Amino acid sequence: MTARQKRLISSGSTFEQQIGYSRAVVVGEWVFVSGTTGFDYAAMTISDDVVAQAEQCLKNIEAALRDAGAGLNDVVRVTYVLPDGDDFEPCWPVLRKYFGEVRPAAMMISAGLADPRMKIEIEVTALRAAAA
């Protein structure tokens, strides 16, 4: 794939079709994963618990990265968005579980999300190992 070619990856989420975006976009060795929430896309359900949502977000991201030929170890940047900033610290053990060794550049933003059931949304950028 040349740097100008892009490959679109879908999770099968109904949101992608309704809104008009891809779960991830691959351009060259870069993988850009859209903001991903804690929905279980197979069942289209979401937990009420922010920590469970964080875990599901990362499982969804991991699946998108896998489809892109990458993995969590390739993540170089992560952005966390939470409507309630006080919910961030309880998520830290889950985030450390997935990124503790990877240690990507990161930031957290407190802002509203599209659905009031959503308590966290995570976006990542990865550089596939072949390019490292």
Model confidence pLDDT, tens digit, residues 50-72: 999 999 999 999 999 999 999 99
User: pLDDT class for 14, splitting at 50, 70, 90?
Assistant: confident
The phi and psi torsions of 30 (rounded to 5 degrees) equal -90, 140
Query: Quick one: what percent of the chain has pLDDT higher than 90?
Result: 78
Residues 86-106 have a mean pLDDT of 98
Domains of the chain: 6-131 (3.30.1330.40)
Q: Is pLDDT above 90 for 4?
A: no
pLDDT attached to residue 19: 86
pLDDT in tens, 19-42: 888 899 999 999 999 999 999 988
Pairwise CA distance, residues 114 & 124, whole Å: 18
Q: How far is CA 55 from CA 81, 91, 99, in A?
A: 14, 8, 12
Q: Is pLDDT of 3 > 70? A: no
Q: pTM of the prediction?
A: 0.91
Lowest mean pLDDT among 1-5, 6-10, 24-28: 1-5
Scan for tokens 């930031």, then name that residue: 107
